[in-house]
Amino acid sequence: MAYFNQQAFMDAVNRDGEFLISARFLDGSMKLHFDEDALMLHFREGRLTRIDRPSMFETATVVIKGPAASWREFLQPVPRPFFHDMFAAIVRRAFEWSGDAETFFAYYGAFRRMFQLMREHATNQE
């Protein structure tokens, strides 16, 4: 599972002024499911501190699940309509989300920027 270059992505997130301002009080985690595979993104004081593979029962503050085809489309440099933004893709049922709604919406600006940076470091371009 290599949808994006994890180290380059993490470095970019932690250097990005827009992300750092909008995430400045973020503490928690986000679990991303790519079909059966998953990654856990850990945040502390507004910084992405690590990315790892979660255990089967590890919980996260926010969870986003999607099939590989949805992730591939979402991570395209110029995605199809409704894949340009995670919330739009969730509304169109290409992804599912769960977890703490207050965190998801309070930090959606940070998450949106984070996903833009993930797209810039995607490795799955077809």
Residue 126's pLDDT is 46
Mean pLDDT, residues 87-107: 97
Residue type at 109 in one-letter notation:
G
Residue 5's pLDDT is 95
Residue 124's pLDDT is 65
Reduce the secondary structure of the chain to three states and give it as a string: CCCECHHHHHHHHHHCHHHHHHCCCCCEEEEEEECCEEEEEEEECCEEEEEECCCCCCCCCEEEEECHHHHHHHCCCCCCCCCCCHHHHHHCCCCEEEECHHHHHHCHHHHHHHHHHHHHCECCCC
pTM for the full model? 0.93
**Residue 125 scores a pLDDT above 60:** no
Mean pLDDT, residues 58-71: 96
The domains located in the chain, with CATH, are 6-119 (3.30.1050.10)
